Structure 1
Amino acid sequence: MKLLKYALMVLFSVGMMSCGGGGSDDPVDEQKPTVTITSPNSPVNTGDIINVAFTAKDNIELKSYRVQIRKPVGATGMTKSYNGNWSFDTFQDKADANGDAFQSIEGKTGPVEVKFPVATDLGDNTHVGKGVYEIIVTVDDAAEKTNSVTVKKEFTLQ
């Protein structure tokens, strides 16, 4: 009987120790990341390089970003050129104007400055159409729930 009491006490103690704490010591990420677009600035000449630059920061950990350049939805007064429907997206265009892969921000907290060139000269005497464009930068952090922030900035190709 004493052995049974001793065994039950040990099991009870082990059970109590395993239940303590209530979770991990990892901080819960409840803040969205921040992003500031620093370039491009207007105007950019068609045929020139668009220098994209932004700074991303998170209180815990950054995961990824997406940069899109396109004409704003419902935009008016644009000049159609050789390629009036041009757009750029880091999810589709896997390299910058130099052929380099895009910089990773995964695992960093920041501030992380990301810079890369985007070509408006498409070869064969084809250029991106003139007009107003917007750059959209979306930054996600590493939290289980998706925290993202999207910032838009307009610039002109002339």
Structure 2
Amino acid sequence: MSSSSLEPQTKYDVYLSSREDTRKNFTSHLHAALCQNGIQTFFDVDVLKKGMDISLELLKVIEDSRCSIVILSNEYASSSWCLNELVKIVECMTTSGQIVIPIFYQVDPSVVRNQTGRYEEAIRQHEQHHRNDSEKLQSWRAALTRVASLAGREVRDDTDEPSLIQDVVVAISEKLRS
């Protein structure tokens, strides 16, 4: 049921957005659970390994997905690509009603919402690299604030991750049915 190839006509139930620091553990486990439950999920790990320039294709996949799950980790904001994905996800949520579920992986939602701590550091780094693109920086900040204001799930050191993953799968299944 899962596919990681970029087929322009394919519609996905779920688009998974994450940074490398969660891809081999939490995100891959969530991906597997979604697929085992018949939820067609796009997880770009296989495509990204090939080193292709696929930004436009990935943005189209986000548009064509019914739901996005954004796994916000401590390293998420350090990636300009993740932030570009997030802007597109928020745009789809606003314009087409795409369901967005944030998962705060070892990061407090207020850190993301207010861009403090590691998120503040990441934004400062981006400011140095994108000095002449204040619109991009503002869109990244706004997307982070918007997503962190949504009801989501939190993963902490004491979280029972398998139970949380199952809870997310059930919630996605219910949202997709309605």
TM range (shorter): under 0.3
**Would you tell me which structure has more helix in proportion to its own residues?**
2
Question: Which structure: larger Rg?
Answer: 1
Higher RCO by CA contacts (8 Å cutoff, separation 6 or greater): 1
Return the TM-score normalized by structure 1: 0.24
Relative to the length of structure 2, the TM-score reads 0.22
